[in-house]
Amino acid sequence: MSNLKERYSSWTTEKLIRVIESGEDYTLIAKDVASEVLKERNILSESAKAIAINYWTKEIYKNLKEYLKSTTPPISKFLELDDFKIIFEAAFSENKNRLESIQVDSTKYWFV
């Protein structure tokens, strides 16, 4: 555990929050050590929340379909359900606009 703490001490705040937020990618021990390192740095909750919003926005935009199919919402130590709703609404709207922009208008082509 001390080796893990030494390693995580040199990591950026963004990487540590990614460890904490990233589901089953890391063990509980790794997440606890990352949380401990963040506490030692005295990171403001607003800063941690902004970083977590950035992380989850990228994650949800990248894997929107999987998250929409899932019956349980993502779990975060820094964000509340309302924050996720805002992120999901923005990602869904962006995805919808992107899909509409690549659709072919068949009325414009006589050879269809």
pLDDT, tens digit, for every residue of 49-97?
999 999 999 999 998 888 888 888 888 999 999 999 999 999 999 888 8
| Same domain as 57, residue 33 | no
In a domain? residue 108? no
Considering the domain boundaries, does residue 112 fall inside one? no
Q: Does some domain include residue 68?
A: yes
pTM: 0.78
Contact between residue 36 and residue 29 where contact means Cβ atoms under 8 Å apart: no
Is 50 found in the same domain as 37? no
Residue with tokens 């709703």: 85
Q: Is residue 111 part of a domain?
A: no
Q: Is residue 12 part of a domain?
A: yes
In this structure, are 9 and 33 located in the same domain?
yes
Same domain, 51 and 99: yes
Residue 93 structural domain:
46-103
Angle CA 99–91–103, to nearest 5:
5
Tally of domains in the chain = 2
Residues 88 and 51 in one domain: yes
CA distance 105 to 29: 54
Q: In terms of domains, do 50 and 99 share one?
A: yes
Each residue of 88-101: pLDDT tens digit?
Answer: 999 999 888 888 77
pLDDT at position 51 is 94
pLDDT-based confidence at 23, cuts 50/70/90? confident
